[in-house]
Chain A
Amino acid sequence: MIQTLAFYLFAALVIASAVMVIMARNPVHSVLWLILAFFNAAGLMVLTGAEFIAALLVIVYVGAVAVLFLFVVMMLDIDFAELRAGFVKNFPLGILIALVLAAELIFGIGAYQAGRLDLGVASGAAAPILDASNTASLGAVLYRDYLFLFEAAGVILLVAMVGAIVLTHRQRPDGARGQQNISKQVRRKPDEATVMKQPGVGEGVEL
């Protein structure tokens, strides 16, 4: 009973907030609705017993990715009139994409009703481990059965990250403004930085 109620609550909220993502006039509102959608999707995953995936969804998507989205979108200088002018221009393209999506949906349902695809028999390598928790069985699958694929994915991400850093990194000349060598600053001694002068009365100081 309560599961059904919770499911319909989460599902309705996911769909409603997903609709609001594309309906909201303000891009920042869109991102906030998107975050609500992520959050409710995590709720749905908790209902199916995949609490680890739910926690990851919140940590990764809500906690990091969406913050970056918000970060970028908040700084956009939005001209609403221009946005609406683009609507007419992009209308045919939008209709085309909508038609393609509708066709795919119809094909998909048609194919599904025609019978399932024969993919062979599962080897049993990814069968759920019955007495272990969600986290433990996920770990067993990722780090024992699919270790190589998992590590390869990690290396690809690392390469992408290094690439992004190389593209944006700008080597500044030594001693440029804003560049500091903190250990050098800490190592500085008083006699390197200050000079004691005892000027007589009426005499200036020459530095």
Chain B
Amino acid sequence: MTEFFQSLGMTYEWAWGLATLAGILLIALPLMLAVAMIIYADRKIWAAIALRKGPNVVGPFGLLQSFADGLKVFLQETIIPTAANKGIFLIAPIITFTVALMAWAVIPFGPVAVLSDINIGLLYILAISSLGVYGVVMSGWASNSKYPFFSAMRAAAQMISYEVSIGFILVCVILWAGTTNMNAIILAQKGHIFGLINGFVFNPLLFPLWVMFLISALAETARAPFDLTEAESELVAGYQTEYSSMSFALFWLGEYANVLLMCALNAILFWGGWLPPLDIPILYTFLFGPGLTAFFWLVMKILFFFFIFSWVKATVPRYRYDQLMRLGWKVFLPLSLFFVVLISGYLMATGHFA
């Protein structure tokens, strides 16, 4: 995009700055719209599984429900508890929201459609997703109330625990792809099985890692069945208890942006990202050229994983906290560590690194 702005007669610096700004807006604004629609989709799926109708009043089929909710929270009063630590109380939702958007900078939407194509893309994602916990911890502490505080404690322990196993799973993917650049990881999956099927997930050595990654992603985003940070039967609403209006909505938006990010990561790391499922030339270009087709495949995969996330939320009961910790430390950590050894050994034995 920089070249386009340069062709309008700008210097490189200005063109780069404007191109980056345009790129950020091009990602963030549709993402916000996608979050609004995905909240609607989540509620509809959840309702269908519970044999209810779900939102069906505002707009056709209730499609505008999220916007009505957004307008409502926008017009509400922001209540700050008198005993709260005011500055941190207000910064916390902003951090959650910003961090949820930041990670999208390195997500490739197509062969060239990526805001910043950096070498350490996956490490950047890992770094940013580890920041997400601060929003929860700060809000829990700053609320100066018992339930949010418990929730903050739980969030801190839970995120650290699952970050470890996610790290090991990513190491396996990086070993196989030989790079941490997101686009290169996707291209490494091209024709991975028999030169025909795209995606690491069809590899018998990497399939168990994908299952672990999916479950860890649920835990990392504090989605059901691991939503112990906002377990309404124990902690009222967890860290969000004292929040109202826009500050509450920012948590809400950030949470769903994070869920979408984890769906996108599932798609990119294991299911071939913007590659079509099969390595057949027509599947790369059938929809108005390669760029749009790539975007189409990525969105389809993200929606598929979001459906799985909703499905799990609607059907699986909440974990107990000690069981959550047991799963993270006693099952996933040894298993993912074992797979790091196994996969690096396999790759060494077959001369992958030679």
Contacts and interface: CB of A to CB of B under 8 A. Distances in A.
A29 B119 CA distance: 34
Contacts of A178: 322
Contacts of B153: 71, 74-75
Contacts of A67: 130, 133-134, 137, 156, 159-160
Interface string A120-141: 0000000000000111000000
Contacts of B88: 28-29, 32
B124 interface: yes
A44 interface: no
Interface in B122-146: 123-124, 126-127, 130-131, 133-134, 137-138, 141
A62 B138 contact: no
B127 A62 contact: yes
Interface residues of B, number: 29
Contacts of B159: 67
Interface in A133-158: 133-135
B96 to A, nearest CB: 15
Contacts of A71: 137, 153, 156-157
Contact of A135 (B127, B131, B157, B180): B180
Interface residues of A, number: 27
A85 B229 CA distance: 38
B255 interface: no
B130 A59 contact: yes
B156 A70 contact: yes
Interface string A37-73: 0000000000000011001101100111001101100
A70 B119 contact: no
Contacts of A59: 123, 126-127, 130
Interface in B38-90: 85, 88
A2 interface: yes
> Which of B85, B127, B153 lies at the interface centre, i.e. has the most chain A CB atoms within 10 A of its CB?
B127
Interface of B: 13, 85, 88, 118-120, 123-124, 126-127, 130-131, 133-134, 137-138, 141, 149, 152-153, 156-157, 159-160, 163, 180, 322-323, 326
